[in-house]
Amino acid sequence: MLNSVEIQKIIPHRPPFLLVDQILKLEPGVKAVGLKNVSINEPFFVGHFPDYPVMPGVLIVEAMAQVGTVALLSMEDKKGKLALFAGINGVRFKRQVFPGDQLRIEVELKKIRASIGKGEGRAYVGDNLVVSGELIFAIAQA
């Protein structure tokens, strides 16, 4: 298990854009499972939406990418590099996410080549699927 300080040693994201609080399971180059505790104190809730706070879907996808990036950049030959979005395919939103929810994010890396990686991501609140889709990463020098 990794806490937020340990996560920041692997990926470059920092608050308020670090969207993963813990990594529960990690198999470098294979998969990772992370948690995001969604708090009403998140800066995006100020404007999204003041009378109906709902976590933006794009940030849930970003949280999935960050979990996948932990799995990718934990590989010995990828340490110290950057993982950037190269594509997002087949993303489907199934449920809204509200303050007080806890997102469990699972990303399995399907294919990794020299500078490109693909993963399948899923985010859940409890046992309910919230978002699923394919994430494509471009690996660059930091």
Catalytic residues: 48
Query: Under 8 Å CB-to-CB from 115, ≥6 apart: which residues?
Result: 138, 139, 140
- Cα torsion 20, 134, 139, 114: sign: positive
Q: Phi-psi category of 100—alpha, beta or left, where left has phi over 0 and alpha has psi -120 to 50?
A: left
